[in-house]
A and B are shown apart, each in its own frame.
Chain A
Amino acid sequence: MTAREALIESASTAWRPRGAGAVRAHPAWADLDEAGRLAAYEATRLLRRLEAALDPEGLSTTARAVLARISG
């Protein structure tokens, strides 16, 4: 796995840092060039579809992360 591939895979997680304010970009995303960011977007798009299809409620990890934050 190249360093670039590792960054793309890292950025595909739904985990994002959050301090007192808004949800922030993933550190790995910040290290990618524009083509890498587009690749991360497309990989994430497919991944969320897979996750939602595997989830009994049809929820991706993005949706789960949002619901977890709402529930505190």
Chain B
Amino acid sequence: MAAADPAAISPGDELLAAIGAGDTAGFARWLAGAEGRLRDSLRSFAGIVDVEAVLQESLLRVWQVAPRVIPDGRPDPLLRLAIRIARNFAVSELRRSRLEPVEIEALERLAATGGELPAGPDRSGDPILRRAIEECRRRLPRKPALALQARLESGGTEPDDQLAERVGMRRNTFLQNFTRARRFLADCLRKRGIDLAVELS
């Protein structure tokens, strides 16, 4: 059996092999770079399916099938697979809903075009942005800071009801404080010349 040509193995292939072998740290590294692009690829579905739920379910399925993914020489094989899985799952969710057949057909055509990568660079890990956000976060008033911290620490594993109770707020007060935190950070960043909405557009 011929040995693999080391020059033909890309860093992406090595990460794919690690993920396929069950390396959760490798999957976390891949997630950090892929999540935003996958979310952007689902924008056209955002009015009719819960993209957050579709995204999470698709990422779980990517993890399950990763051991069977074979690099095809094109970039980002796992991300292309994730986009296909996500769009197909979105359409299957629509089938479960009461959407008109003609709308489902239009979305199936959209899903069939899946696999191409959203334009734009990988924006994860920008140290300047990170420093600015951290500085703005330190200036947050106490209660909004508490609400933000609660959501960050829970990492999406608990509903807001539980988080609100933990920080001693009613659910609506918790949401108000979370909104204040989000707006405060956006305003603070804007004063530093950073507009996230523009940067992500």
Q: Give 9 A-B contacts (CB < 8 Å), ordered by A residue.
A: A13-B160, A14-B156, A15-B157, A44-B39, A49-B36, A61-B155, A62-B39, A63-B32, A65-B56
Report, as a range, how many residues of chain B touch the other chain. Answer: 35 or more
B130 in the interface (beta carbon within 8 A): yes
Query: How many A-B Cβ pairs are below 8 Å?
Result: 162
B78 in the interface (beta carbon within 8 A): no
Q: Which residue of B lies closest to A34 (CB)?
A: B47
**What CA separation (Å) do A34 and B46 show in the bound complex?**
8
Q: Nearest Cβ in chain A — how far from B119, in angstroms?
A: 15
List residues of A (10-37) whose CB comes within 8 Å of B's CBs.
Answer: 10-11, 13-16, 22-26, 29-30, 34-35, 37
Mark B residues whose CB is within 8 Å of A.
Answer: 24, 27-29, 31-32, 35-36, 39-40, 43, 46-57, 59-60, 63, 89, 123-126, 129-130, 133-134, 137, 151-152, 154-160, 172, 175-176, 178-179, 182, 185-186, 196-197, 200
Question: A13 is contacted by which of B126, B159, B179 (Cβ under 8 Å)?
Answer: B159
A44-B52 in contact given A65-B155, A69-B60, A70-B63 (Cβ < 8 Å): yes
Interface of B is mostly: helix
Q: Number of residues in A with C-beta < 8 Å to the partner?
A: 51
A66-B60 in contact given A6-B172, A54-B133 (Cβ < 8 Å): yes
